[in-house]
Every structure is written in structure tokens, then in C-alpha cells.
């Protein structure tokens, strides 16, 4: 009897481990937030004559206190390159202002969101509990944003994402899987645009008529492949296979056997490392797939992808953000001076723009008291961000719409991986097409 219960406990623990492996740290309890109780917790001067008349409360920053900005990015694990890339952009944007805003220091704090829903929820709960935070740059992954948004929005915060691209996040109609809530903005392109660019490139430029798509269950990949499939079919192409792989899977033979049974012209897998590497490499083992082209999206657009995948990545297409211009070159010089080398992914410029948008908006709405205390209305900050128009950023001219889409989608391109990226050293790969 004792033995049996021991095995049972072992199995339960195993189950627990599996659950936590997907989650990292799950949040507990009360997540709906404390609406509108913003301003009164900072240690400000009580004699300040400023009054808060904001509908959802204010953040009060005492004369000697810093203005607190938080990031919610994935900075560990498989997708750390994405979060580190964005965090670098935020730090440079703050450094460009000398680390000061309205005479106060700008202080950056943050939470690791792990690129999954549980991580996003846990980070949101922690950040919403800190009422001195003015605004958030984040999240990295769309799945995190979807889970974090109810808490963040309920707490009256604003959140500007440099790299969320799932279409539903800036759609306020729940009937069409929209999950937008007030306070959410993004400087990243909407995948309605990226998926279309990918499908048009595949059909018109590569001449592909049949395509297979693979996603990994994340809203990012799922949304992107849906747009790709719709546009590809609309253009006259045929989808031969639409499936998914699990995160953490290493053996792709079963999905690739399925695809190879009816070999398409192109396989589109807008997923992340390392599953993307495994698909690219293992597709080489299938003779039927020798003429099939491979295409990924910005989730795989990092220097480590071709280096780790090796020769199998040569010739593969990747869609992703393409930023250029003098201001961007100057940004890259600053990056090299500060961190060394080139940014590890493609969303640093978006993070830089997001930070500047947020800081500009704070500057615009802040009421400054005689002793240096500042009061920032939370609703006023949202209104100021929504009103952002013709903002000259690195990624183009940004104008936000009512549901937080600020990017125009002009900064996109198709890259093709060559020998130089695989052998290391060269990044990014050459651009082969721009819409």
C-alpha cells in the first residue's frame, strides 16, 4: 500500500513539474487590480498644492523621487534575445535624454515575462501592485500581452509593446477574437500586414502555388499563419497542410512526414527557436522536400538562428522588420558603444520609439508643482498616447489609432539567409524584397 501511494505522489509531482515547466511561475489569486487608486502611495510632499482630477487616478512623484518606468520583457530562456534586444532600445532611449525627465531621474525596473501567458500574468500582477510605476514598455510576446492586459488595463496603466504583432491585440471586437483594452499600444507592426507580405512574396515573387503552414500554439504564430493562409488562398494558392508542433519538441519527423506525403512549394513556419531550427534542419532528411522552400517570420529573425541551424538554413526566407535611415545608423553606433556588437533581434528600434513616445506623453501631461513634485494623470496619459500623431521615430512616422496600433507597417521586408550568416559574423541577412 505504501509503495502505491509513493508512486502516486511521484506521478503527481511529475505532473506538477510538467505544468510548471510550461509556466515558470504562475500567478495566484487577486488579479483584477485596484482600479483608480493610483496617486496616494508615493512619499511625496504633502503640502504640494497639486490636485488630481483624473478619472482613474494619478501617479505622484515626489521632489526627489525618480519617474518609474517598467519593462515587461522575456529576458531569460529560449526567447531572451527578443527581450534583451528591446531592453537595449529602452535603455538607449533613456540615456539619450541624459536619464532625466522634467528634472527627475528616469528609473527603469522590470519583470521577466518568459514569453508565455503565465509569465505575462505573473509579471502584470507584480507591476500593477507597484502604484508608483507610470508606464510600461512591453510585452515581448503576444501571448504575454493577452494574459497581462486585463490586469494592466484595470490598474490604469499604459503598456506600449515593441514586439507584439498578433492582430487581435489591437482589435476591440471580441466577436472576431479581439482582446484590446484601454491602455494598450504598440509600435510593432500588426501581423495582418506581415502575414500578407509573406503570402504575397511567396505567391507572386517565388511562384509558389501550394503551401504548408506550421504553428506552435502561440497567438503570434497562430495569428500569422492564419493571415498567411487567407491571403495565399485569396491569391489562388492551395494550403496542403496546416498543423502545429509543441514547444519543446525536438523530433519533427512526424509533422514533416505528413507534409512530405504531399510536398508543397513552400513551408511557412512563423515560430521560434529552437523548434524552428529543428524543422529547418530536419526537413533536409526528406527527399520529397528537396525542392520545397522554407519561410519563417520575425520570431526566427535573430543572428543565432542561422548559426545554430547550419547549412540547412541557407536560402531560407524570413520576414521581419526592416529599419533604415541615418537616425537608425546613429542608434546602431550607440548600441555598439554601449553593449558591443549588433542588436540580437529586430525590435530594438521599436522599443526605442515606444520609450520616446511614453516619455513625450508623460512630459506633455505632467503637472509640475512648485517644489518639483509631479502629478501624472493616468487617463490623461492614455489620451496623450492615443493622440500621438506624426511622431518621427526610427521605425517611420507613427500615428496611433483608437485601439493602439501606432505602426504603419512600412518597415517590413523579406530577408534571405546566405552562407555568410551561417558561418557567423554577418547580421542581418540581405533584404531580397520589400513591399
Partner 1 sequence: MRSRYFDNISWVSLILGILRIVILVLIVVGAYNTLSSGKYSAEAWVGLIASGLAQGSIYALIALGYTLVYGILLMINFAHGEIFMAGAMTASFLANSFARSGFLNQSPVLAIFILLCFAGLVSASIAILLERIAYRPLRGSPRLVPLITAIGASFFLQYTFRGLYGSGFQSYPGTVDALKGNLTIGSLQTPITLTQVFVFFCAFALMMALYWLVERTKIGMAMRAVSENKEVAALMGINIDRIIVITFALGGFLAGAAGVINGIYRPQGVFFRMGFFPGVKAFTAAVLGGIGSVPGAMLGGLFLGLVESLGPNLVLEGLGIPGANQLKDAIAFTMLVLVLIFRPQGILGERLAEKKA
Residues lying near partner 1 in the complex (CB under 8 A): 3, 6-7, 9-11, 13-14, 17-18, 21, 75-78, 80-81, 217, 243-246, 248-251, 253-255, 257-258, 260-262, 273-274, 277-278, 281, 285-287, 304, 307-312
Instruction: Tell me the C-alpha distance between 39 and 60, whole Å.
Output: 5
Nearer to partner 1, 17 or 175 (CB): 17
Residue 164 burial (C-beta neighbours within 10 Å; 0-12, 13-18, 19+)? buried
Which DSSP string do the residues of 64-121 spell out, in sequence order? Answer: TPPEEEEEEE--SGGGHHHHHHHHHHHHHHHHHTTTEETTEEEEEEEEE-TTSHHHHH
Which residue matches cell numbers 492582430?
Answer: 167
Phi, psi of 360 (to 5 degrees): -60, -45
Nearer to partner 1, 171 or 283 (CB): 283
Q: Is the Cβ–Cβ distance between 71 and 108 less than 8 Å?
A: yes
Minimum Å gap between C-beta 418 and partner 1 is: 16
Nearer to partner 1, 255 or 417 (CB): 255
Instruction: Tell me the C-alpha distance between 221 and 259, whole Å.
Output: 18
Minimum Å gap between C-beta 276 and partner 1 is: 9
Nearer to partner 1, 56 or 252 (CB): 252
Nearer to partner 1, 131 or 277 (CB): 277
Cell numbers of 63, please?
A: 521632489
Minimum Å gap between C-beta 122 and partner 1 is: 17
Instruction: Tell me the C-alpha distance between 406 and 200, whole Å.
Output: 23
Is 394 strand, coil or helix?
coil
Nearer to partner 1, 35 or 257 (CB): 257
The strand pairing partners of 396, in sequence order, are 393
Nearer to partner 1, 35 or 251 (CB): 251
Q: In what order do the strands lie in the sheet with 58-61?
A: 58-61, 374-377, 367-368
Phi, psi of 423 (to 5 degrees): -75, -5
Nearer to partner 1, 25 or 42 (CB): 25
Q: To which H or E segment does residue 359 belong?
A: helix 348-365
R_g of the chain, CA atoms, integer Å: 23
Minimum Å gap between C-beta 335 and partner 1 is: 18
Q: Is the Cβ–Cβ distance between 280 and 306 less than 8 Å?
A: no
Is 413 strand, coil or helix?
strand
Minimum Å gap between C-beta 248 and partner 1 is: 5
Amino acid at each position: 500500500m505504501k509503495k502505491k501511494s509513493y508512486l502516486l505522489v511521484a506521478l503527481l509531482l511529475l505532473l506538477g513539474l510538467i505544468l510548471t515547466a510550461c509556466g515558470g511561475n504562475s500567478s495566484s489569486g487577486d488579479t483584477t487590480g485596484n482600479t483608480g487608486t493610483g496617486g496616494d502611495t508615493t512619499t511625496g510632499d504633502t503640502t504640494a498644492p497639486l490636485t488630481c482630477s483624473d478619472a482613474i487616478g494619478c501617479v505622484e512623484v515626489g521632489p526627489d523621487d525618480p519617474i518609474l518606468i517598467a519593462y515587461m520583457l522575456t529576458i531569460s530562456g529560449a526567447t531572451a534575445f527578443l527581450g534583451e534586444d528591446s531592453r537595449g532600445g529602452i535603455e538607449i532611449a533613456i540615456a539619450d535624454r541624459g536619464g532625466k525627465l522634467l528634472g527627475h531621474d528616469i528609473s527603469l525596473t522590470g519583470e521577466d515575462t518568459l514569453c508565455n501567458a503565465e509569465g505575462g500574468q505573473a509579471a502584470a500582477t507584480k507591476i500593477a501592485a507597484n502604484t508608483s510605476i507610470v508606464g510600461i514598455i512591453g510585452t515581448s510576446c503576444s501571448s504575454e500581452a493577452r494574459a497581462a492586459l486585463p490586469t494592466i488595463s484595470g490598474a490604469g496603466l499604459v503598456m506600449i509593446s515593441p514586439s507584439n504583432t498578433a492582430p487581435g491585440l489591437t482589435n476591440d471586437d471580441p466577436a472576431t477574437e479581439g482582446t484590446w483594452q484601454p491602455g494598450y499600444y504598440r509600435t510593432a507592426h500588426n501581423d495582418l500586414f506581415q502575414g500578407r507580405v509573406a503570402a504575397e512574396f511567396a505567391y507572386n515573387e517565388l511562384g509558389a502555388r501550394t503551401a504548408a503552414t506550421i504553428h506552435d500554439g502561440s497567438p503570434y504564430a497562430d495569428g500569422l499563419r492564419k493571415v498567411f493562409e487567407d491571403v495565399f488562398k485569396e491569391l489562388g494558392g492551395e494550403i496542403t497542410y496546416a498543423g502545429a508542433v509543441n514547444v519543446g519538441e525536438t523530433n519533427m519527423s512526424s509533422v514533416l512526414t505528413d507534409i512530405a506525403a504531399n510536398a508543397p512549394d513552400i513551408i511557412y513556419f512563423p515560430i521560434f527557436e529552437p523548434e524552428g531550427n529543428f524543422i529547418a534542419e530536419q526537413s533536409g532528411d526528406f527527399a520529397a522536400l528537396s525542392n520545397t522552400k522554407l519561410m519563417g517570420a520575425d520570431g526566427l529573425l535573430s543572428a543565432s538562428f542561422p548559426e545554430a541551424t547550419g547549412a540547412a538554413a541557407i536560402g531560407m526566407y524570413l520576414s521581419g522588420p526592416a529599419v533604415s535611415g541615418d537616425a537608425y545608423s546613429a542608434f546602431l553606433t550607440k548600441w555598439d558603444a554601449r553593449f558591443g556588437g549588433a542588436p540580437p533581434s529586430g525590435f530594438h528600434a521599436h522599443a526605442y520609439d515606444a520609450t520616446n513616445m511614453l516619455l513625450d506623453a508623460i512630459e506633455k501631461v505632467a503637472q509640475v508643482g512648485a517644489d518639483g513634485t509631479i502629478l501624472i494623470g493616468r487617463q490623461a496619459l492614455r489620451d496623450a498616447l492615443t493622440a500621438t500623431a506624426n511622431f518621427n521615430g526610427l521605425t517611420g512616422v507613427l500615428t496611433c489609432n483608437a485601439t493602439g496600433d501606432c505602426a504603419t507597417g512600412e518597415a517590413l521586408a523579406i530577408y534571405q539567409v546566405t552562407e555568410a550568416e551561417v558561418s557567423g559574423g554577418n547580421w542581418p541577412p540581405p533584404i531580397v524584397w520589400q513591399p
